[in-house]
A and B are shown apart, each in its own frame.
Chain A
Amino acid sequence: MVTVTIDGKALEVPEGITVLRAAQSAGIEIPTLCDHPHLTPYGGCRLCLVEVEGYRTLQPSCTLPVSNNMVIKTNTKKVLDARKFVLTLIFSERNHFCPYCQVSGGDCELQNAAYHEGMTHWPLQPNWQPYPVDASHPYIIIDNNRCILCRRCVRACDELIGNFTLGFEERGARSILVADTGVPFGESTCVSCGSCIQVCPTGAMIDRWSSYLGHEVKFDSTKTICVACSIGCGIEVFSRDNNLVRIDGDWDKPISSGVLCDLGRFKPMVEKCDRIFTPMVRKNGTLKAATWEDALSAAASGLKSARPKIAALISTRQPVESLHLFKQLFADQLSAELATTLEEGAKTALLASSADELGKPFESKLEELKSSDAVLVVADDLVLEHQVAGFFIKRNLPKGTSLVVVDKATNNLGKLANKSLNPSSGSFEDVFVGLSAAVAKLGLAKSKKNISAETLSKAAAATGLATEDFLDAAFLLASATNPVIVYASKALSSALRDFASLINAKLVSLKGEANSLAASQLHLDKPFSPAGVNAVYVALGDDEITQKMVKEIEKIPFKVVQATYASALTAGADVLFPSTNWLEQTGHYISADGHVQEALQSLKPAEDVLSVRETLLKLAERLGLSLDENWSKDVHSRVAPVLIEN
C-alpha cells in the first residue's frame, strides 16, 4: 500500500494502481472518455488530466500509476480549463452535431462530459471533413464522423474477444476505424459479438435494431441471463412498452463479465416467427381455437387413456422448475414409458456415466480458461458454438497461451492453434493414449504411469498422425502450469481422463443447451423412440426441433404440444398450448460448469400464453395429481460431472 493525497484527502491505495482508479475508489470523480473499467488503460483522450505536485505538466490519470506521497489535484482551474480545451478539440475534429445523432440526449458520454463541464458552445468550429460510414454489417453501423479515436472498440475486440477485427488506418486527424485490412465491415472477420457497440462512448458504432428507438432512460431494463447455450452469460435486457429493444452484456456477472456472442446479443432481435397465442384442439381433423379448460381436458383424457404408453419430451431451454415438474408428472406419476429431453442426453449421458463411475465431480469451472497457459480443445468448434468460451481462449493467445486442437472434422480454432491434430482414423481414445505416451516419453508426466515403449507408435498408426505430432502437442500441454482441456462429451473416455491427470490438466466441457446439465441431473437423458407409444407430450417452448424428430413424432396417434412459435410440429398436434418465450418466464438454469442462476422475466407474455411450468401444474391438477415444486434437492440426487453450486 502507498499513501497518496487527492484533493486534500489522504488515501491508502494498493501499489501499482492508476491515479484514476485511486480517485474512483475514494469517490472522487474524474471525467474520462477513452477509459473503460474492463479494458487496459490507453491514455488517448486526455480528458482525465490532473495536476500532480512536482510534475511540470498535467498528467493523464488513467495511465499514471500512483507512487508514495503523490499529491494530486483534480479540480484546479488549470485542470478544469484543460478539460474544456480537450473537449473543444474533440468536438472540432469531426461531426459532433448532437441534434442528428442517435445517442444524443443522455446516452452519449462525450455530450455528457461537455454538460458536466458546463459547455454551452464550441469555441472552435469543426473542420467539415467528411469521414466514411460503413453500413455493410448486418447488425452494426460504423460512423467515423462520430468517432473520437478512443479505441475502446479496438481494445474490446482484441482484449475481450481476441478477434482483432477492428483497427485504425491512417494517422492523426485522418485516422479511420476499419475492419481487417479496410474491407467492408460486413465482409470482415467480425463475429458479431457486438462488444464494440457496447463500449463505444459516442454514436460512432450503433446497432441497427435499437437505434432511434429512444434513450436508455426511457427503457425498462432487467438484468438476467442468456439461455442461448450452456455458458449462462449475464445480460441486461432493455425494452420499451414491452417490446424488446436491445440486449447488452452484464459487466457485473462473473461468468463472462459483459462479453456476449451474436446468439445472445443480436439473434433474439432479428428472429421473426409466428407466435401461437391461443390453445387449440383438433376437431374433425382440423385444429380449432379452444379455451385453456377445453384444451387441458382434451390433453388430460388423451394422456389418461394412453397411459403408460406415453412418451414425453421437453426442451433443455426450459428452467429447472419446468424440467422438475415434467419429470415428476410423466416419469413418476404417469409412469410414462419415456420421459426425456429433445437433446436425448446426447451431450450429457457420457459425462453422467463418468461421474457415476468416479462417484465424484471431475470437471472444473469455465473460468479456469481465463488463467490457463495451455488449452486443448477436443472436437468442439468454439467458433461456431459456445463462442464465448472460444473468446476466453482466443483473447489469451497473444499473452502466450498455447492452443492445441484435436478434431476429426474441420475446426475453426485449428488455424489459430499452435498445433492442430486431425486424426484420419481411429478414435479419440487412441489420440489420448498417444498423447499420454508422448508425455511419458518426454519425461514430463506429473504422475507415475507405466506406458510401454511402443504405445506411441501404435497410436500414431491407429490415428494416421505422426509421432512428432503427438510429441509437439504433448510438449505444449505438459510444459504448461495450468493446462485446461475443453472437450465435447463424445470425446470423453478414461483415456482422456488419464491424460488429464498425467499432465495435471483441468477438464471442462460445454453441455449443449442452457439447461442440459440440469436435465441430466434429473435423469432426463434417454434416447427417444416412437415405437409402441400411443401418446406424446412435447414441451417445446421456444426451442427448435429437428425434422427427423418431427417425422418420428408424427407416427404417434395422440400428440400434445406446447410451443411458442408455429412449426411443422405444431401443425400436426392434436392439442396445442401456447408457450411463453425465454424472456417472458422466470426460472433457474444450471450452467455447463455448475453455476445455478435465475433467469428473470423481462417481457410480459400476451394474455392466454402460459409458461411450460404453469401448464404442467394445471395439467397435473386436471389429472388429479399433485406435484412438488422444490427442485433443488433433486438436482443433487445424482453425482454431477462438475460441482453444482447453489
Chain B
Amino acid sequence: MTKPKISSDWMAGCAGCHMSLLDMDERIALVAELAELRSTPITDLKHPDESGVDVGILEGGINNTSNEEVARLMRSRCKILVALGDCAVFGGVPAMRNFFTLEETLRRAYVETESTDESGKIPSDPELAVPTKVRAVSEVVPVDVFVPGCPPDADTIFYVLSELAQGRTPDLKGDKLSWY
C-alpha cells in the first residue's frame, strides 16, 4: 500500500499553526513514516500534486482573491480538507476587521497609521489580490475536518495527522478540543 500524501498551505493567518505543527518535534519523523509529506509552505514543493493528495491542510482565513484561489486549488486536489487553527475554522483574529468596512480598514492601515506621512495611499496595483471580507475556509470551500485552536496544540495536531495518515477520522473532544 502506498503511503497517503499530505499537503498544506497557509493564507490569512500568522503561520503560528505551522509553527505548532513543527512543535511536534521528533514525532514529525513518525508522521513521515506513516505518510508522505508533499507541498507545504515550509518545504520545497509549493503546490499540491496535480494528481492529487489524500489530505490537504489549510491554515488561515480567506481575506482576498488570492486566498480564495489557494483554497480552491487545495480543495480540488485533496480528498480530505482540514481547516487548521482558529483563523481557518472561524476567521480568527484577522476577522476582527469584519466589524469595520473594508475601506475603513485599508485607510487605517495605509493612510492613518501614526508612522505614515501625507503620502500614504491605499495600494491599487491591478496585479494585487483584491481584499475581501475575512471568511472561514468553510465559507468558501467544503471542509471535512475542523481543528480549532490558536494555535492548536502540537499534541492535537499530531493526533489529527496520525489518525488521518492511518485512514481514520479524528474526533476532537476533551483536552484536544480548545478554541483557544
Contacts and interface: CB of A to CB of B under 8 A. Distances in A.
Contact of B135 (A98, A125, A130): A125
B148 to A, nearest CB: 6
Contact of B150 (A95, A99, A118): A99
A120 B99 CA distance: 23
Given A98-B179, A99-B92, A120 B136 contact: no
A274 to B, nearest CB: 37
Contacts of A121: 83, 89-90, 136, 138, 143, 146, 148
Contacts of A114: 179
Contacts of B83: 121
Interface string B153-173: 000000000000000000011
B99 A130 contact: yes
B22 interface: no
Contact of B179 (A104, A118, A128): A104
Interface string B106-142: 0000000000000000000000000001011011000
B96 A100 contact: yes
Contacts of B45: none
Contact of A125 (B99, B136, B143): B136
Contacts of B150: 98-99
B177 interface: yes
A115 interface: yes
A388 B133 CA distance: 50
A120 B89 contact: yes
B177 A118 contact: yes
Interface in B69-101: 83, 86, 89-93, 95-96, 98-100
A122 B150 CA distance: 16
A99 B99 contact: no
A279 B135 CA distance: 63
Interface residues on B, range: 20 to 34
A291 to B, nearest CB: 51
A122 B91 CA distance: 11
A216 to B, nearest CB: 15
A97 interface: yes
A115 B177 contact: yes
Contact of A97 (B92, B139, B147, B173): B92
Nearest to B87: A99
Contact of A98 (B86, B136, B138, B172): B86
B92 A125 contact: no
Interface in A92-109: 95, 97-101, 104-105
B91 A125 contact: yes
Contacts of A115: 173, 177-178
A314 B133 CA distance: 66
A128 B99 contact: yes
A99 B89 contact: no
Contacts of B96: 97, 100
B86 A120 contact: no
A121 B86 CA distance: 9
A125 B139 contact: yes
A91 to B, nearest CB: 9
B12 to A, nearest CB: 14
B90 A122 contact: yes
A341 interface: no
Given A120-B172, A121-B90, A121-B148, A104 B139 contact: no
For A95, A118, A125, the residue with the greatest tally of chain B CB atoms inside 10 Å of its CB is A125
A111 interface: yes
Contacts of B100: 130
A477 B62 CA distance: 69
A305 B92 CA distance: 74
Contacts of B86: 97-99
A111 B148 CA distance: 12
A207 B136 CA distance: 31
A99 B180 contact: yes
A97 B177 contact: no
B95 A120 contact: no
Contacts of A104: 179-180
Interface string A497-521: 0000000000000000000000000
Nearest to B83: A121
A128 B90 CA distance: 12
A97 B95 contact: yes
A359 B108 CA distance: 77
Interface string A359-389: 0000000000000000000000000000000
A201 B92 CA distance: 22
Contact of B91 (A97, A105, A130): A97
Interface string A117-142: 01011100110101000000000000
Nearest to A114: B179
A100 B179 contact: no
A95 B98 CA distance: 10
A366 to B, nearest CB: 43
For B133, B135, B173, the residue with the greatest tally of chain A CB atoms inside 10 Å of its CB is B173
Given A97-B91, A99-B93, A125-B135, A120 B146 contact: yes
A287 B118 CA distance: 61
A100 B89 contact: no
A101 B150 CA distance: 12
A100 B90 contact: no
Contact of B98 (A98, A122, A128): A128
Q: Which 9 residue pairs spanning A and B have beta carbons closest together? A: A120-B146, A121-B146, A99-B150, A98-B179, A98-B180, A128-B98, A130-B99, A99-B180, A104-B180
18 contacts: A97-B90, A97-B91, A98-B150, A98-B179, A99-B86, A99-B93, A99-B180, A100-B93, A105-B178, A120-B146, A120-B172, A120-B177, A121-B89, A121-B143, A122-B136, A128-B98, A128-B133, A130-B99
Given A95-B99, A114-B179, A126-B98, 7 more contacts: A97-B91, A98-B179, A104-B179, A120-B89, A120-B172, A128-B133, A130-B99
